[in-house]
Structure 1
Amino acid sequence: MGFLILLIQGVQIGDPVTLYCVFSNQVYNEGNMFWFKQITGEIPEVVARMQKFQPRPELYKEFNNSHLNVERAEADGIYRLTIPKMEPTDEAIYYCASRTDYEVNLINGTFLVLKGNRSDYKTVVQRSYDPVHPGDSVTLQCTVLSETCTGEQIVYWFRAGSGDSHPGVIYTPGNRSDEFEKSPETPSPTQSCVYSLSKNNLSLSDAGTYYCALATCGEILLGNGTTFYIVSSSMFALLMCIVLIIYLMYTRKNKKICDCCNGKSIVIIIILSEKHLVYLYICFRLYFGFK
C-alpha cells in the first residue's frame, strides 16, 4: 500500500470541480488504474477503472448515470475527474490507486469540503495564541457555534509543521465543555460547543499550525487553525546581543563612553538562567584600532 497525501479543497455548492490523477509510466503501461470516492464514515466506492488501451474509462454502477465524469487527459497517464456543479452528495474524499498482481498503491487524494451554511452548524472557530516558550503548556480550543450539540461527534486535530513535512493527524475523542447562551440576533438559542486538546512541555518541534475538524452526521467542519510560534531563549539572547553590539559600535564611533572604551577589544557576556541551568553566551569580540 502506498502513502496517501490528502489535499483539502473547499467548494461552494454549484461550483465546477476538476481533479487530476497522474500515474507513472510503469503503472500506465502495466497496471489497472482506479478512481475512488469515499464519503466520511462509509466504505470506498469505485468510480471508474482506467487502462492504457481503453478509449474511455469504465464508469462503475451508479456513477455510470451520474454527473461525475472521468476522462483521459491530453498526456499519457493523466486522468481527470470532473463535477460540473458541486452538490451536497459530492462532498467526499476522491483518490486514485493502481493495482498490480501483487499490490495496490494509493496515488493522491483530495477531500472536497462544502463551504457555507450546512445543517444546524454555523462555524468552527479556533483562538490565536501569543508566542510561547519551550516548556510552556497550552490548551488548544475549537469552538463550534450551532443550534445543538447533540449527536455523535468526533474531533480530529491536524498539525502542519514547518518546512516540507506533511500534515500529521492527532486523534482525540475531544474533551468538550458545553456552554449554552441565548443569541439575541437569532430566533433560536445558540450553543457554544468547546473541544480542547492540551499540549504540555512544549518544545521547538511542536511549532506549527494546528487545525481541528469536527466529524458529525456525515459532515466534516474545519477550523481556521491555531499557529504556535515557539521562541527559544537562546535565540532571544542572540537577538539582544546583536542589538547591543550595533548600539555600542554606533556610540563608540561618535564619542567615548568611558575610560575603558580606549581598550582594544569588547567582550559582551550574557548569563541566562533557565530551568536551573546556566547558559553562557559570548556574543561578540571585536578588535578596534584607535589612534
Structure 2
Amino acid sequence: MIVFWVTLFCLHEGYSLVPVETVQLGEPATLTCAIPKELSIRGVNWYKQSVGDTLKLIVTLYKSTADFGPGFSSLRFGVYDGKNFTSLTILKTVQEDEGLYHCANTEWIGTTWSGTYLLVKGNTQRTSNYAVSQLLIESNPVRPGDTMTLQCSVFSDSDNKTCPGGLNIIWVREGSNKSQPNIIYTDRNRSNGCENRSETQKTCVYRFSKNISSSDAGTYYCAVATCGEILFGNGAKLDIQGCTDYVFFGTKTIGVGENVTLTCARLTSEYDATLYWIRIVSGSWPEFLGGTFTFDYDGVNTTPHITAKQEPGTFILEISQTRLSDTGLYYCIKVDQLDMEFLNATFLKIKGPETAITDIIQMPQSGPLHPGNPVTLQCSVLSNPENSACPGNDSVFWFSTRSDNSHPNLIYADGNSDKCERSPEVSSTQKCVYSFSKNVSSSDAGSYYCAVATCGHIIFGNGIKLDVKGLNMWDLQKANTVLFILCAALATSLIVIAFLIYTIKKKTSSCWCDSMPGSGDQQSQQTVENPLIYSAPNITRRKSGKLPQRSEKAAEGGTVYTDVSASAVE
C-alpha cells in the first residue's frame, strides 16, 4: 500500500495527494467534479491517465453537449452536466479502467484542474508471480559526462496471468536533496531480452541509459506496473563525482605586504602520484607555481616571492610580501598517470588600502533624444586626495546596458579627466569631471554607468537612462509637408524672378530702339528739337606778335563764330 501512495505522489501535478475512489472489478464507478460558481460560460473535459501513459481525452462537455474522444463511447461511459458539478460514470469497470482521471474546467481566463485516482480491486494474488531486481552496471562513483546504464530484471514464476495486457516499466529517481521522486522514463511492452529460465520461470531484462550531469545524483528505482499494482525494485544509488563534492574550498583575506601559507595534504603511500600548485587569476591563463612528488623530496620551487616545498605530510605554498596582483584562486592538484584530481582550492583575497573616492555623481539627461542627436555624458568623481595611498591615476570606464536586458558592454575608457578642482565648501575634497560624447542611434537606448577603477576596487556611479525616440509616421508626414511647401515657395519665387527679368529687359529694348537715328525728316526734326547754343566770346588782344599765329591756329581748327567781337587793350 505504501508503494501505491508513493506512485500517486509522483503522478499528481504539484506533488499533492489526490482522492482515491475504490471499486470492485465489474461494478460501476462514478467520479464527480465540482464546478466553481463564478464560471458562467464554461466547458468541461474529462481525461484518463494510466501509469506510464499520457493524457487521453474521454469526453468534452459544452452547453450540455457531450463529445467523446477516440476509443471512448457512451456504451461504457455516462456523463452528467449539472449546475454545480459534473460527473463521469463507468458503467462496468474492467482492470484497464484503473488510473488517474482528470477533470478540467475551462473558462476564458484559464483552466482549473482536479483529479481522482480510480482503484479497481480484482484478484489479490495477481502480482504474486513477479519479482523485480535491479543493478547499476557502471562502477560508482561516476563523473559528469559519463554514460550510466541501469538494468532491471523482472522474474515471473508462471506465464499465466489473471489480467490482460503487458508489463509497464517505469524508472523513478529520488534526488539526493530529499526532493520528491520524479518519473524519468517509461518503457511499455518492450524488453531487451526475455528468456525462459525453466518451464515455470521467465526472466525479462529492461535497461535505461543516459548521459549524466552533476544534478543526476540520487537513488533510481525500477517499477513494474501490472494488473493494477506497482511493484518496485530494490533501487540503485548513483554517486556523481564532481569538483564541488570532493574539493575543499576555502577563502583567506590578508593585507598587502603580509605573508601567507597554503597547505595541501601529501600521502606518501601514493608513490606514483605528483602534486602541483597552480593559480588562476581572473582574465588570465592558469599559472604553474610549483610541483613535487608524493614521496619525500627535497626539491624546492622558488619564484621572486612564492615558494613551493614539502613539509612532513604536506605540500605547502608560501607567498611573502603579498601584492594586490596575488589575488586569485589557488588549486592543489594530484596527478596520477592520466588521472587528475583537485585536492583543495583556496581563494586568496589581498586587501589593499582604502580608496580615496567618496562619491560618484552622474547627472541625468534632460528630455528624450532622437537618432542623430549628439549627447554628452558627465561623471563627477569626488575624492579626498589626502587619504589616497594608491599610486597612479584613476581609470574611468563607461558601461551601457541596453533596454533588452542584455549584458553590460564596455563602450569607452578614459584615463584623464577634463577638469579637476577643489571644492569651495570643503577644501580637502577634489572634484574631477569626466565626459563622454557620441551621436546616438535608436539602438543606444538604455542605462549608462560611469565606473572608476582605483586601489584594486571598481566603484560604479548611480547611472543615467537615455531615452532615444525615433520619428513616427506623424512626424514624417509633417516633415514631408513642410518640405513640399518650401519647394513650392522656391519654385514660385524662381518663376516671379524670371518674369520680372523678362519684363525689365523688354522695356529696356523698346527705349533703345526709339533713340536710334532714322530717316532725313526725323533727323531734321531732331535738329529742330535739339538746337545748338552758341556763345560769343570776347577776346582781349595783347600787344604781341604772336596773335596772328593764334588766329591762324584757330582758323586751322575749323571753328566758326557768327559773332565775334575783339577789343585790344593798349
TM-score normalised by the chain length of structure 1: 0.51
The amino acid of 1:223's aligned partner reads F
Report the counterpart of residue 154 of structure 2 in structure 1: 144
Report the counterpart of residue 6 of structure 1 in structure 2: 11
- Change in Cα spacing, 1:95 to 1:176, as seen in structure 2 (3 Å) is same
The unaligned stretches of length 5 or more in structure 1 are 68-86, 183-187, 248-256
What's the offset of the Cα at 1:278? 8.5
Report the counterpart of residue 125 of structure 1 in structure 2: 133
What's the offset of the Cα at 1:97? 2.0
Aligned partner of 1:93 among 100, 110, 118:
100
The amino acid of 1:95's aligned partner reads H
Find out whether 1:238 has 2:301 as its counterpart.
no
CA RMSD of aligned residues (A): 5.8
Structure 2 counterparts to residues 150-165 of structure 1, below 5 A: 153=166, 155-160=168-173, 162=175
Aligned partner of 2:113 among 107, 110, 113:
107
Find out whether 1:270 has 2:350 as its counterpart.
no
SS in 2 for 1:94: strand
Matched residues in 1 for 2:147 and 2:114: separation? 36
The amino acid of 1:176's aligned partner reads N
What's the offset of the Cα at 1:122? 1.9
The amino acid of 1:233's aligned partner reads C
What's the offset of the Cα at 1:203? 1.8
SS in 2 for 1:93: strand
Matched residues in 2 for 1:158 and 1:33: separation? 32
Matched residues in 2 for 1:269 and 1:118: separation? 59
Report the counterpart of residue 232 of structure 2 in structure 1: 223
Greater Rg over alpha carbons, structure: 2
- Change in Cα spacing, 1:280 to 1:32, as seen in structure 2 (3 Å) is same
- Change in Cα spacing, 1:180 to 1:215, as seen in structure 2 (3 Å) is same
8 Å CA contact 1:145, 1:190 repeated in 2: yes
What's the offset of the Cα at 1:145? 1.8
SS in 2 for 1:30: coil
8 Å CA contact 2:172, 2:220 repeated in 1: yes
Deviations 1:181-218 (A, max 9, x none): 46xxxxx732232211223x4222433554445466x6
TM-score normalised by the chain length of structure 2: 0.30
8 Å CA contact 1:159, 1:208 repeated in 2: no
SS in 2 for 1:235: helix
8 Å CA contact 1:174, 1:196 repeated in 2: no
Aligned partner of 1:197 among 199, 208, 221:
208
The amino acid of 1:138's aligned partner reads M
Aligned partner of 2:192 among 173, 176, 179:
176
Q: How many residues align?
A: 238
What's the offset of the Cα at 1:118? 1.4
8 Å CA contact 2:221, 2:236 repeated in 1: yes
The unaligned stretches of length 5 or more in structure 2 are 1-9, 54-69, 252-261, 266-311, 322-328, 351-570
- Change in Cα spacing, 1:24 to 1:132, as seen in structure 2 (3 Å) is farther
- Change in Cα spacing, 1:207 to 1:235, as seen in structure 2 (3 Å) is closer
Matched residues in 1 for 2:241 and 2:166: separation? 35
The amino acid of 1:237's aligned partner reads V
8 Å CA contact 1:126, 1:223 repeated in 2: no
Deviations 1:66-93 (A, max 9, x none): 79xxxxxxxxxxxxxxxxxxx9566223
Report the counterpart of residue 217 of structure 2 in structure 1: 207
